[in-house]
Amino acid sequence: MGPDSVSVQRSTISFEEVCTVDADQTARRLFARLSHGNAYASRMVEGLATGYLIAIVESICIREMLREMSLTTEVIVGAAVDVRHRAPVPPGKQIWLRGQTTHLDERTATFAVRAWDDDEIVSDGVMTFVVTSRERIETRLALKLSADNRAPGGASEHPQSNSVPWPEAGLSRVANAAMTPCRPTIPLGKHWHRPRNPDEPPLPKVRLHRAPCPESLRKAATPHRTGDEGIPGSLTGTW
């Protein structure tokens, strides 16, 4: 089964959507269905759960990608989520969602996304998706299920933490440094620097890149903007 020939019809993908928060999408209802959360679910609020908010936006992004891509042997999956949940939304309330790609090619798409209700900004952030082999993912899923079936009691043994490798040595050094007792720190302007052990190899330098915000979303976020973007003008959106 070979890979699809993926072609993107447009240089950008964008959407505007409105949906109503369902009663089953609140944090209290969600946690009541989770084995780790049902004991205290009654203490959660009857507002849109962050998990459902992410799922709603993700489903719309993937739907819009599928409209532009012809896939039969490959599948779109979420790769990264950096979304801030700013404000609560009660069930029955409508929210508006807007998104636009900041990066798009034949294998990946990154969306800048935003949601708001009548009163304030509910969330905003960035979500990235990739096109990958359906066969490869299904094979990996099957291998994990077969491993569970082979283990005593039908479940695999809990992996030891030291058997799960960090993605790279540099990240491992950062994590180890964070877990060791801190020595006195030296203030450097607005930043704090932990003195480096001279026997510790230097960490690799990383250049950070921030994708530009689409003009439509930048306008929507402008304080005291009125009307033409469809978002109330004085929104601040904060918990």
Domain 14-137: CATH superfamily is Hotdog Thioesterase (3.10.129.10)
What is residue 234's predicted lDDT score, i.e. its pLDDT? 41
Percentage of residues of the chain with pLDDT beyond 90: 53
CB 117 within 8 A of CB 88: no
The mean pLDDT of the chain is 77
Are 111 and 15 in contact by the 8 Å Cβ rule? The answer is: no
pLDDT of residue 70: 84
Task: Single out the residue of 113, 101, 110 nearest to residue 128, CA to CA.
Answer: 110
Radius of gyration of the chain measured on its C-alpha atoms:
22
Helix spans in the chain (H) = 27-32, 50-68, 134-150, 169-179, 215-220
Angular region, 154: left φ>0, alpha ψ -120 to 50, beta rest: left
Positions in the chain whose pLDDT score sits under 50 = 1, 170-194, 206, 208-210, 220-236
